[in-house]
Structure 1
Amino acid sequence: MKKQNKLQAVLFDVDGTLADTEQDGHRIAFNAAFKQFNLDWNWDIDLYGELLQITGGKERIRFYMENYAPTMLNKNDLKDWIVSLHKAKTKYFESQMETGSIPLRPGVARLIQELRQEKVKLAIATTTTMENVISLLKSTLGAESIDWFDVIGAGDIVPLKKPAPDIYHWVLNQLNLSAQQCIAIEDSENGLQSARAALLSTLITVSGYTSLQNFDGAVAVLSDLGEPSKPFTHIQGAAFAKEWVDYEALNSLIKK
């Protein structure tokens, strides 16, 4: 009998996966930054859902300009201006995080602690900024939690963002592990495509903005990671012995 690979690392996406940060976090911060820059832009809930098809905040701003404010593309310092606008947005988001108003999704804190006990490496692979990652971890798990993660791949550390696999290739390289020894946890179709292109088995926990996306290729699609007292809803893919995701469940999902 072929020996089962032992799970060596779990690679987490951040926005929508660790916490539902998009609708009432990043969106609100973008709108606050627009106001600060005297812009009449307003990203309502539906529009922001459309804009989330573009990964990366700076990329999202440029896409919006190309489609909704094309005359502003003539700015001589356009790239620097977008960077400044995005930095302002990041500061607003960090302020939100400090209030503790956005909690982790069900099962996230429990699973992270269990993986630490099992000596499984923890990593983050995200298109959001390092500042945003640190703010979320500090506000939900405490400042010490940053050191729980062996690798944090965030922001512009690679040139191409999801759905390109670059961020996952970078994290795997830093971990010095193969994709077959790891599993990714994502919430979006872009994230799934990115992880799968890096040959990672990928578990999806859908979020509000992503529930209707195409998750073909995921090992399983769930409502969330679940808790013993509040089971997840199974949507598609592999069946589980329990109704919450734990180390044993993740180990059963990685490629044999």
Structure 2
Amino acid sequence: MIKGFIFDLDGVITDTAELHYEAWKSLADEMGWKFDRDVNDKLRGISRMDSIKVILDHNKTALEESKLEELATKKNDIYVASLDHMTPEDYLPGAKELLTHLRAEGFSVALGSASKNAIKVLQQLNANGYFDVIGDGNSVSKSKPAPDIFLYGSEKMSLQPDECIVFEDAESGIDAAKAGGFHSVGIGPEDRLGHADLRFDTMAEATLFEVKAHFKELFS
């Protein structure tokens, strides 16, 4: 039976994607690198260090690890400064309603995000009260598509993976959910998330009613 839900943050609860894009673009412009929205799409769901390596590969260049870390930190500083402008109005449509509904029905809820800034984002949204467990980029060493962040969440909720549904907007996130033995809901287009157990174009469509209807044998 389903007893818990695990949510990615960016693209599921809120959309910080544009803030990430602007931060990477600022760094790329400063470094003289080519960077556009197609490259940015490849960064969805992966860690900061992996992201900068994707950008370097695109530009057919390489840097020492220490320089990579310095630049990744610089990008993060730009991004974190932009988070100060987030407010509780910045939930994606449908996200707050779903979290409220899950709370009302007594489900356990965890965050499973690759972001090391997840706690700051939740504070800006005033969302901490919706989560029993917060798993972020500081919680595990292996990022998605490894299932570690979701396994961390289920373990902290004292649940088995097959008792949890993961909500993700990234291909690597659905891969991670599958690798860990979780049920999965994809938020976004078919070409990116067609391998999820259930998919919606937007969070607004992903109501608890619809989720229960699809996984009906897993809800009592």
Which residue does 2:16 correspond to in 1?
21
The residue identity in structure 2 corresponding to 1:249 is V
Partner Cα distance (2:12, 2:154) in 1 = 19
The residue identity in structure 2 corresponding to 1:44 is D
| Contact 2:7-2:167 at 8 Å conserved across structures | yes
Which residue does 2:111 correspond to in 1?
124
Residues 255 and 187 (structure 1 numbering): CA distance in 2 closer, same or farther, change over 3 Å?
A: farther
Over the aligned positions, Cα root-mean-square deviation in angstroms equals 2.7
| Contact 1:12-1:124 at 8 Å conserved across structures | yes
Which residue does 1:9 correspond to in 2?
4
Residue 124 (structure 2) aligned to one of 132, 136, 139: 139
User: What does 1:204-219 align with in structure 2 at a 5 Å threshold?
Assistant: 204-206=186-188, 210-216=189-195, 218-219=196-197
Residue 58 (structure 1) aligned to one of 49, 52, 68: 49
The residue identity in structure 2 corresponding to 1:29 is A
Q: How far is the alpha carbon of 1:201 from its aligned partner?
A: 0.7
The residue identity in structure 2 corresponding to 1:15 is D
Q: Kindly, what percent of the aligned residue pairs are identical?
A: 22
Q: How far is the alpha carbon of 1:45 from its aligned partner?
A: 1.7
The residue identity in structure 2 corresponding to 1:182 is C
Q: Which protein, 1 or 2, shows the higher relative CO under an 8 Å CA cutoff with sep ≥ 6?
A: 2
Q: How far is the alpha carbon of 1:93 from its aligned partner?
A: 3.8
Which residue does 2:201 correspond to in 1?
223
Q: Are 2:43 and 1:91 aligned? A: no
SS of 2:203 mapped into structure 1: coil
Which residue does 1:203 correspond to in 2?
185
Which residue does 1:68 correspond to in 2?
59
Q: Are 2:208 and 1:246 aligned? A: yes
- TM-score (normalizing by structure 1): 0.74
Whose Rg is larger?
1
Partner Cα distance (1:197, 1:63) in 2 = 23
Which residue does 1:153 correspond to in 2?
135
The residue identity in structure 2 corresponding to 1:193 is D
Runs (5+) with no aligned partner, structure 1: 227-231, 233-243
The residue identity in structure 1 corresponding to 2:12 is T
| Contact 1:33-1:88 at 8 Å conserved across structures | no
Partner Cα distance (1:21, 1:48) in 2 = 13
Runs (5+) with no aligned partner, structure 2: none
Q: How far is the alpha carbon of 1:104 from its aligned partner?
A: 2.0
Partner Cα distance (1:169, 1:220) in 2 = 20
Residue 70 (structure 2) aligned to one of 61, 81, 100: 81
Residues 125 and 250 (structure 1 numbering): CA distance in 2 closer, same or farther, change over 3 Å?
A: farther
Partner Cα distance (1:68, 1:196) in 2 = 32
SS of 1:155 mapped into structure 2: coil
How many residues end up aligned between the 2 structures? Answer: 218
The residue identity in structure 1 corresponding to 2:106 is K
Q: How far is the alpha carbon of 1:190 from its aligned partner?
A: 1.1
Which residue does 1:110 correspond to in 2?
97
